[in-house]
Every structure is written in C-alpha cells, then in structure tokens.
Amino acid sequence: GESALDTYRKWTRHQENLTSKENLLLTNSSAYPLGRVAGHLYDRPYYKLSHPIRETEDGGIELFTQISVGAELTLMKRSREHSIARAAQVVNAAFHQKFDESPKIGVINIFCAGPMLHLMQDMNSVCEQINQELEHLPFICPFTFGEQGRFIGGENGHGNLMISSAIFHKPYER
C-alpha cells in the first residue's frame, strides 16, 4: 500500500511535492493534525489530535503521540484565523463554565508550542485577544509540547495542539 507520508501529502495537497525531510516539521503540519475520536457530545464526535513531527526513512510519519496500528484517523484542518482566536475563546469558555458572577483576577493559559511556531508572526494578535478577554488582567502562557487535558466529555488524555486555561478568581462575596 501507500506510505503514511504519501497519504498525508496527498491529503494535505500543499505538501505533496516536498522532498526534503526538513519540510515536514511541526511548523508546517500544525494546521493539518491527525485526529482520533476521543468521545461524542450530542452524537457528534470530538477528537484527540496528533501532531506530525517529521518523516521517517521508510515513508512513515513520526508523531508526538502514539497511535495504535489500525486506528481510524481523520485529517483535521485548522484555519489561521481560528488558531489566532482559539486561546481567547478557551479563556472565555473556561471562565463562564461556573464563575460568571465571580471577578477574574488572572489566568494560566497553556498553549501548544506547535501552533505558536506556526503563528509566530501573529502571536501579538493572540496575546492582544487574551488581554481583551481578560480586560488586561495578568496572565502567563507557557508554550508546551505534548499536553495533558480534560476533554469536554470528562476524559483526561494526552494530546497535541491543545490549549487550556486555569482561571483565578475572587471568591463569591456573601
């Protein structure tokens, strides 16, 4: 059959004609991760992502996560605009789950380093959107490779290209 690399290049089209091993690095592939169904919400699947790092000599693809032989994969696509807006959306969603009435005082935001490298020239925009969402409250944002997180269905897992937020807030006044 066809190699994983040839299949991936065919699926992504923009990398079909590349021959240099350095061209399939994480900065080029973060917009096209491989997804595996992690669970379902309202009968719709949500995915755990795996980020291609580089090609192997035998036409395989090295990933940041382990995928079992025979696992069903879906090519995912992320637009640049969505990637830029995602961190602020995660901050908003995390805060509004339970703390609508409680004032925010700061955030720890975990942002995958792969998209950060892909969005390098747009990271000021990412930062400004987080600042707007937090009304310029303090936050820190480490850029990591290989994230642990809780999926929307409650499962914890190791995945790639994840963004998460820990919100600090004042206690409710009684």
What's the pLDDT tens digit per position in 57-73?
Answer: 999 999 988 899 899 99
- Average confidence score pLDDT of the chain: 86
Q: How confident is the model at residue 22 (pLDDT cuts 50, 70, 90)?
A: low
Tell me, yes or no, whether 39 and 58 share the same domain: yes
Domain count, the chain: 2
Tell me, yes or no, whether 129 and 106 share the same domain: yes
Tell me, yes or no, whether 94 and 160 share the same domain: yes
Tell me, yes or no, whether 90 and 156 share the same domain: yes
Burial of 71 (0-12, 13-18, 19+ CB in 10 A): exposed
* Separation CA 134–CA 2 (nearest Å): 48
* Separation CA 174–CA 164 (nearest Å): 30
Question: Which residue has better confidence, 75 or 152?
Answer: 75
Per the domain annotation, does 174 fall within a domain?
no
**At residue 74, what are phi and psi to the nearest 5 degrees?**
-125, 130
**At residue 37, what are phi and psi to the nearest 5 degrees?**
-60, 125
Taking 70 as the threshold, does the pLDDT of residue 115 lie above it? yes
Q: What is the pLDDT of residue 19?
A: 54
Tell me, yes or no, whether 131 and 95 share the same domain: yes
**Boundary (domain end) residue, out of 26, 51, 75:** 75
Tell me, yes or no, whether 133 and 67 share the same domain: no
Tell me, yes or no, whether 54 and 88 share the same domain: no
Tell me, yes or no, whether 104 and 163 share the same domain: yes
**Boundary (domain end) residue, out of 19, 45, 75:** 75
Domain range for residue 91?
A: 80-169
Tell me, yes or no, whether 35 and 85 share the same domain: no
**Boundary (domain end) residue, out of 12, 43, 75:** 75
* Separation CA 79–CA 98 (nearest Å): 29
Q: How confident is the model at residue 25 (pLDDT cuts 50, 70, 90)?
A: low
Tell me, yes or no, whether 44 and 111 share the same domain: no
Taking 70 as the threshold, does the pLDDT of residue 24 lie above it? no
Tell me, yes or no, whether 97 and 151 share the same domain: yes
Q: Is the pTM higher than 0.85? A: no
Tell me, yes or no, whether 165 and 86 share the same domain: yes
Taking 80 as the threshold, does the pLDDT of residue 89 lie above it? yes
